[in-house]
Amino acid sequence: MKQIKIYDTTLRDGTQSEEINLSVQDKVRITRKLDDLGVHYVEGGWPGSNATDREFFKEIQNYALKNCKVSAFGSTHMNRLTPENDPNLNALIESGAKTMSIFGKTWDFHATSALGVTLKRNIELIRNSISYLHPHVEELFFDAEHFFDGFKANPEFTLNCLKAAHEAGADVLILCDTNGGSMPGEIVTACKEVQEKIPGCHIGIHAHNDCDLAVANSITAVQNGAIQIQGTMNGYGERCGNANLCSIIPNLELKLGYETIGKNKLIKLKETSTYVTEIANLRPFLRQPFVGQAAFAHKGGVHVSAVLKDSTSYEHIDPLLVGNDRRVLLSDLSGKSNVLYKAKQYGYDLDKNDPAVQTILAEIKERESIGFEYSAAEASFELLFFKAMGWSKRYFEFINFFVVDAKRKNDSEPFSEATVIVKVHGQENHTAASGDGPVNALDKALRKALEPFYPSLKEVRLQDFKVRVLSGAVRQAAGTSSNVRLLIESTDGKSQWTTMGVSHNIIEASWQALVDSINYKLFKDDPQKWPSR
- For residue 136, what pLDDT is reported? 97
- For residue 475, what pLDDT is reported? 46
pLDDT for 310 beyond 90? no
How far is Cα of residue 334 from the mean position of the Cα atoms in its chain? 28
- For residue 493, what pLDDT is reported? 87
Between 74 and 308, residue with greater pLDDT: 74
What is the distance between the alpha carbons of residues 371 and 501, in angstroms, rounded to a whole number? 9
Coil, helix or strand for 363?
helix
The pLDDT tens digits for 137-162 are 999 999 999 999 999 999 999 999 99
What is the distance between the alpha carbons of residues 499 and 515, in angstroms, rounded to a whole number? 9
The pLDDT tens digits for 454-506 are 999 999 988 888 888 886 544 444 555 578 888 899 999 888 899 999 998 99
What is the distance between the alpha carbons of residues 518 and 111, in angstroms, rounded to a whole number? 62
- For residue 474, what pLDDT is reported? 46
| Cα pseudo-dihedral 23, 25, 26, 27, rounded to 10 | 90
**Whole-prediction pTM:** 0.75
- For residue 450, what pLDDT is reported? 95
Give 476's contacts (C-beta < 8 A, 6+ positions apart): none
What is the distance between the alpha carbons of residues 333 and 297, in angstroms, rounded to a whole number? 14
Contact status, residue 65 vs residue 72, Cβ threshold 8 Å: no
Average pLDDT over residues 308-313: 71
Contact status, residue 85 vs residue 67, Cβ threshold 8 Å: no
What single string gives the DSSP state of each residue in 69-114? EEEEEEEPPPTTS-GGG-HHHHHHHHTT-SEEEEEEE-SHHHIIII
Average pLDDT, the chain: 90
Coil, helix or strand for 345?
helix
At 3, the pLDDT band (50, 70, 90 cuts) reads: very high
What is the distance between the alpha carbons of residues 497 and 134, in angstroms, rounded to a whole number? 52
CA-to-CA dists, residue 131 to 48, 168, 198, 271, angstroms = 18, 5, 18, 40
pLDDT for 269 beyond 90? yes
Third-level CATH fold of 396-453 = Double Stranded RNA Binding Domain (3.30.160)
Between 387 and 58, residue with greater pLDDT: 58
pLDDT for 519 beyond 70? yes
Strand partners, 172: 141
Pairing between strand 139-145 and 99-105?
parallel
Of 209-213, 345-349, 521-525, least confident by mean pLDDT is: 345-349
At 309, the pLDDT band (50, 70, 90 cuts) reads: low
Give 252's contacts (C-beta < 8 A, 6+ positions apart): 4, 219, 222, 258, 260
Q: What is the 3-state secondary structure (H, E, C) of 167-232?
A: HHCCCEEEEEECCCCCCHHHHHHHHHHHHHHCCCCCEEEEEECCCCCHHHHHHHHHHCCCCEEEEE
CA-to-CA dists, residue 402 to 180, 396, 407, angstroms = 56, 17, 17
Average pLDDT over residues 377-402: 87
- For residue 501, what pLDDT is reported? 92
The pLDDT tens digits for 319-354 are 999 998 876 666 555 566 777 777 777 878 888 788
Average pLDDT over residues 97-116: 96
Coil, helix or strand for 341?
helix
CATH of 370-395+456-533, one of 3.40.50.1100, 2.40.110.10, 3.30.160.340, 3.30.70.1060: 3.30.160.340
Contact status, residue 341 vs residue 304, Cβ threshold 8 Å: yes
What is the distance between the alpha carbons of residues 8 and 33, in angstroms, rounded to a whole number? 12
What single string gives the DSSP state of each residue in 249-295? HHIIIIIS--BSS-HHHHTTHHHHHHHHHHHTT----TT-TTTSTTT
Of 222-226, 299-303, 348-352, 453-457, least confident by mean pLDDT is: 299-303
At 395, the pLDDT band (50, 70, 90 cuts) reads: very high
What is the percentage of the chain residues whose pLDDT exceeds 90?
A: 67
* Segment of 76-85, 502-511, 522-531 carrying the highest mean pLDDT: 76-85
- For residue 335, what pLDDT is reported? 65
pLDDT for 304 beyond 90? no
pLDDT for 530 beyond 80? no
Please state the domain extents for the chain. 5-279, 297-353, 370-395+456-533, 396-453
At 315, the pLDDT band (50, 70, 90 cuts) reads: confident
Architecture in CATH of 5-279: Alpha-Beta Barrel (3.20)
- For residue 490, what pLDDT is reported? 92
Common-topology check for domains 370-395+456-533 and 396-453 = yes
pLDDT for 533 beyond 50? no
Cα-flanking dihedrals φ and ψ of residue 399, to 5°? -110, -50
What is the distance between the alpha carbons of residues 523 and 175, in angstroms, rounded to a whole number? 55
Between 518 and 482, residue with greater pLDDT: 518
- For residue 259, what pLDDT is reported? 97
Contact status, residue 324 vs residue 295, Cβ threshold 8 Å: yes
